[in-house]
Amino acid sequence: MLHAEGVVKRFGRLEVLKGVSLEVKPREVVCVIGPSGSGKTTFIRCINHLEKIDAGRIEVNGHLIGYRERNGKLVEDTERNIARQRAEIGMVFQRFNLFPHKTALENVIEAPTHVRGVTKDQAARQGKALLERVGLADKFDTYPGKLSGGQQQRVAIARALAMNPALMLFDEPTSALDPEVIGEVLDVMKSLAIDMGTTMIVVTHEMGFAREAADRMVMMDDGRIIEEAPPAQFFDSPREERTKQFLSKIL
Amino acid sequence: MLAAVDWHILWQRIFHPDHVFVLALWRTIYISVCAQALGVLLGLIGALMRMSRFFPLRLLSGAYVLIFRGTPLIVQIFFVYFGANLLFGFTLIPRTVDFGLFQMDGAAFAGIVALGLNEGAYMREIIRAGIDAVDRGQMEAAKSLGMPYPMAMRRIVLPQATRFIIPPLGNEFNSMMKNSSLIFFIGVTELFGDAEIRYSTSFKPVEYFLAVAFWYLVLTTVWSLIQAQIERKLAVSERGDELSFRERVAAAWLPAAMRIRGTP
């Protein structure tokens, strides 16, 4: 599903990713943790090419993301091709990024109707089903400004799912939420992971969610992946000293 | 001093405008509206070019703003109408411009083009600032859903930028109405031109210029009422009432439009 190999990303002189490699299989749920500045958010932003990469390669479903191979060298792909690749990858942002000038349902059907060319009726039917699935059956016509953070993030999840993505990326989806609404978002994510079998990469510090839903934990530090393990092993007997320190701080 | 003013003329000009005057007033209005529309269009194109990844487009946009913001409007008006003829010996804008459905005075057309070109340079900055004011996450969210850049710009970013663009746009239009008086210079008898012609035959500058100042004041006052109305409606919409963007813009215009037409 995802094949990332030696991904390097620099912002000016600062090297944020120093060669990150990760394999994710279909239906697998991977949780990425690590201290701030470790490059975890940058890494998942590279997966749908919101950030260019300086070295390495990223493939989703066997397709090289953001670049084309020409004479053995990688050159950036066209806007249209990159857009087509991004349509297969859903992303949920820390700050929701709902379109404030559109209702919840309009947010959800925007991409299916305009990117995929699905008819408005059909998109609305699917959109309503998705909003019902995330528990917002009574909010179809509500604007984001009138929704709580938790509700907004659930709309954002429905919006990403509306494109039937092969892979879902979550960038700290609960970090900007009030504590009392974090649970409702995590419940939706759990049901995606466990009931629907969605392939997910989740950057999160919600260890309860990770333990329950993740197939694998990935620890990042200083632009590198330093440890990968199934949750039980990862939490109960981490191998790396750095991981132990980090876990002792957040648990 | 005041005894020198012929109050009768002033009174006539304000309360009993003749049809020549009404035609001049109409010219000022339609020339300002057309030039402003052209300016918004050029400003939008310029703003998008300014953000392009392609360097020559950015350069062109920069040069455009440099020239049209950096030279006097009256010089620009002169060169748009007479420049091609005087420099290269061919007529760019004829005496009468034929649009098929209707004809237009060449000087008025040149005036619209010159005012629009000048306005575009200012609008480019306003529109660019408006686009910059939209949260970057909006473009990222649109892209992450598979929208190509032009679609994301048109459907997601620009509608939100409108909110930031409309208040300064209103001020620009206020200036436009007054600046349009400069095209009297190329022979368009608009509001100011009408006053100028009458003063030159009657040698009563004070009366005619006071009267014309009054009429510009009427135009700008009416416009500021409309503008206040629009801004109030847009501010309400920011608080998140349950109206679509299009409905809100319509609602913002409707009461003002009805007031002009005189219907309750």
Residue A70: C-alpha distances to residues A9, A55, B92, B229 (Å): 21, 15, 48, 57
On whether the CB atoms of residues A162 and A123 are closer than 8 A, the answer is: yes
Average pLDDT of the residues in B142-162: 95
Q: CA of A240, closest CA in chain B: separation in Å?
A: 34
User: Would residue B264 count as lying in a domain?
Assistant: no
Which pTM value belongs to this model? Answer: 0.84
pLDDT tens-digit map of A185-215: 999 999 999 988 999 999 999 999 999 999 9
Position B250 scores a pLDDT of 64
What is the structure's pLDDT at B251?
Answer: 61
Q: Give a yes or no: residue B263 inside a domain.
A: no
**What is the predicted pLDDT for the residue at B237?**
58
Which one has a higher pLDDT value, B248 or A130? Answer: A130
The confidence score (pLDDT) of residue B247 equals: 61
Q: Which residues of B touch A146 (CB under 8 A)?
A: 240, 242
CA distances from A67 to A79, A165, A169, A193 (A): 10, 20, 20, 29
CATH of the domain at B247: 1.10.3720.10
Residue B143 has its nearest CB partner, among A86, A98, A163, at A86
Question: In chain B, what residues touch A142 (CB-CB under 8 Å)?
Answer: 242
| Contacts A–B by Cβ distance under 8 A | 75
Mean per-residue pLDDT, B75-95: 87
Asked whether A130 and A139 are in contact (CB, 8 A), the reply is no
- φ/ψ (deg, to 5) at B94: -70, 175
| The pLDDT of residue B259 is above 70 | no
Q: Is the pLDDT of residue A157 over 60?
A: yes
Spatial separation of the C-alpha atoms in residues B235 and A102, rounded to whole Å: 16
Does the structure's ipTM exceed the value 0.90? Answer: yes
A residues 67..96 contacting B (CB < 8 A) = 79-80, 83-84, 86-91, 93, 95
pLDDT at B253: 59
Give the A window 94-153 contacts with B, CB below 8 Å. 95, 97-101, 103, 110-111, 114-115, 141-146
| Tokens at A148, concatenated | 């709580």
Contact criterion met (CB < 8 Å) for A163 and B242 = no
Identity of the residue in A101, A115, A141 whose CB atom sits nearest the CB atom of B147: A115
For residue range A215-250, list pLDDT tens digits in order: 999 999 999 999 999 999 999 999 999 999 999 988
**Residue whose structure tokens are 């590279």:** A46
Least confident interval from A126-135, B6-15, B16-25, B154-163? B6-15
Please give the pLDDT value at position B56: 96
Best to test chain B binding among A65, A101, A103, A155 (most B CBs inside 10 Å): A101
**Identity of residue A11:** F
Which of A45-49, A131-135, A205-209, B13-17 is predicted least confidently?
Answer: B13-17
CA distance, residue B170 to nearest chain A CA (Å)? 22
Contact between chains at B145 and A163 (C-beta distance less than 8 A): yes
- Total domains, chain B: 1
Cβ neighbours around B15 below 10 Å, total: 7
Determine which of B139, B145, B234 to mutate to test the interface with A (most A C-beta atoms within 10 Å).
B145
From chain A, the residues in CB contact with B142 under 8 A are: 99
Tell if the CB–CB gap between B137 and A160 is shorter than 8 Å. Answer: no
* pLDDT tens figures, B202-240: 888 888 898 999 999 999 999 999 988 888 877 765 555
Query: Over 60: is that where the pLDDT of A105 sits?
Result: yes
**What's the domain range around B190?**
2-258
Residue range A108-141, pLDDT digits in tens: 999 999 999 999 999 999 999 999 999 999 999 9
Contact B148 A80 (CB under 8 A): yes
CB B20 within 8 A of CB B177: no
Q: Please state, in angstroms and rounded to a whole number, the distance separating the CA atoms of residues B132 and B126.
A: 10
Integer Cα distance of B232 and B79 in angstroms:
40
- The answer to whether residue B260 scores a pLDDT higher than 60 is no
In chain A, what residues touch B159 (CB-CB under 8 Å)? 101
Q: What is the amino acid identity at position B134? A: V
Q: What is the sign of the dihedral through the CA atoms of A188, A193, A199 and A204?
A: positive
